Each structure stands twice: as C-alpha cells, then as structure tokens.
A and B are shown apart, each in its own frame.
Chain A
Amino acid sequence: MNDPYEEEGAPGGVVKKFMYINRRAPYGTIYALEGLEVALVGAAFEQDVSMVFIDDGVFQLKKEQDTIETGMKNFSPTYRALEMYDVEKLYVEKESLEARGLSEDDLLVPVQVLEATALAELIDTQDVVLNF
C-alpha cells in the first residue's frame, strides 16, 4: 500500500481508550463503511479500541449479506479482519438485537452482548468516543 499519509505507533507512548459507536445499517448510508475505515486506519496508532454496535448498527455484523443486486460492495468480510488490526473488543447492545429479532448466532464475528445499562457504564470509561 503506497499511502503518503501513513503514520504509526502510539504518539508519545500515549494509549487512550477509543470507542467507535456504530448505530446505522451497513447500507443506505455511508456511515458504517467510513466508520469502519477509521477503526482500520486508527489501528496503526496502537490505542485501546472498542467497537460498539447499537440500533441498526447491529445489522453491520449480520451474516450472509448479499448486495449483488444493489451494485454495492459487500464489505461485511472486513469485520472479520478487525481482529488482525488488534480491534478485538466488539460489543453489541442486547436490546438492539432483540428488537430486530436477531441473536448472536446471526452475527459473523464473536461479540460480547451487553445490556444498555452495562454499555452506558462502558462508554463512561472511555477517553475518546466517536459516533458513526
């Protein structure tokens, strides 16, 4: 990859807790895709990263996405690559799954399912929170 904008390592050795909250469906808007790009590029900075999926964001992790008829790229395999970028902490909100008739078995990566109150506590512990 010939990226003139590449940076590496934790600046000054500072490691912060970064949380990326994903609330939108994978297709229909670009927030899911561009949000994922932040997580991937950000991995080079070796921070303590968590990704959270709430509301329609839980659909981003759904197995068997078939986008052929839409002409859009199915980027869901990228979520399996997160692990290789040291983004291993993936959380899904329990209420969001249930409201959408989904369970952990429907998801293409291992996640920790948390209730909203537990998630709120987790968010509280973070240094930097971004919403997509």
Chain B
Amino acid sequence: MKIALLITEGPYTHQAADSAYQFAKSALAKGHEIIRVFFYHDGVNVGTRLTTPPQDDRNITRMWQELAAEFSLDLVVCVAAAQRRGIVDTDEQKRHGKDANNLADGFRISGLGQLVESGILADRLVSFGD
C-alpha cells in the first residue's frame, strides 16, 4: 500500500513525530511504501538542524533523517508554516535576506501542494497531531 504521512505537531512537546516514526518504521518493515512525510503547523520544527536533546533521550530529527536515508523517504516541510516558525533553507535564507539557515539534511522545504498531492497519490494519508 502507498502511504503518505502528515505530522502537525512539534517534536517533544507532542508525541506526534514519535508515533508517526514508529508507524512509518512498522509500515516499511511490512513492505508498504511511504511516499511522502509532510510536516505542517509546528511539525516543521522537526526539520531543524539545531536540536540538542538531552544525551539520554531520543533525537527525533536524527531518527527521521536516518529512516529517510535508509528508505529514501521524501521529508517535506511546508514553506508557509516554516516561514512563520523560522525554519529556513539556503534558498529561503537568500529569498528573505536572513542571516542564517537551519534546515536539517534530508528534509526539503516545499509548498502545501505537496501535501494535497500526497493525498491524491497515496492509498492512505495518515495524520499524526493533537
């Protein structure tokens, strides 16, 4: 089955990014295809390169990066939500004259259209939020 995921809450504050990760991992192990993971609302904060969680706790961003690398997942951070919340890649940095960028490797910034498209292309769009 082709599955798309939507994550609408930020890391640590909500469990959404963890639950989605566990779900993705299980689905992939069962041979399903995750065609896109879309991060919206505060979910865009999963895409920060600058997270330093406590040593004895999980690193949510890195978990997603490693899963994405292993299974060639498309991790997409919504541009509008990212602009509001200060998640910036090099293009956005130039476009808006910012003095830094902070998007984690393995994530890409794109439009809400990618979310709607994933709903059309997938057999199921599964949301993780609050």
A residues sitting closer than 8 Å to B (CB atoms) are 3, 5-7, 10-11, 14, 16, 18, 30-31, 34, 37-38, 41-42, 44-45, 47, 127-128, 130-131
Contacts and interface: CB of A to CB of B under 8 A. Distances in A.
Given A42-B113, A130-B125, 6 more contacts: A5-B79, A11-B121, A14-B121, A16-B120, A131-B127, A131-B129
A64 to B, nearest CB: 27
A60 B114 CA distance: 25
Interface string B83-125: 0100000000000000000000000001111111101110001
B6 interface: yes
B39 interface: no
Q: Which 6 A-B pairs have the closest CB atoms?
A: A5-B111, A42-B116, A41-B112, A128-B119, A7-B113, A45-B116
B41 A34 contact: yes
Chain B residues touching A, majority SS: helix
Interface of B: 6, 40-41, 79-81, 84, 110-117, 119-121, 125, 127, 129
Contacts of B116: 18, 38, 41-42, 45, 47
B112 to A, nearest CB: 4
| Secondary structure class of chain A's binding surface, majority of residues | mixed
Contact of B41 (A3, A18, A31): A31
Contacts of B125: 128, 130
Contacts of A34: 40-41, 80-81
A45 B120 CA distance: 9
A30 B113 contact: no
A132 to B, nearest CB: 8
Contact of A41 (B111, B119, B120, B129): B111
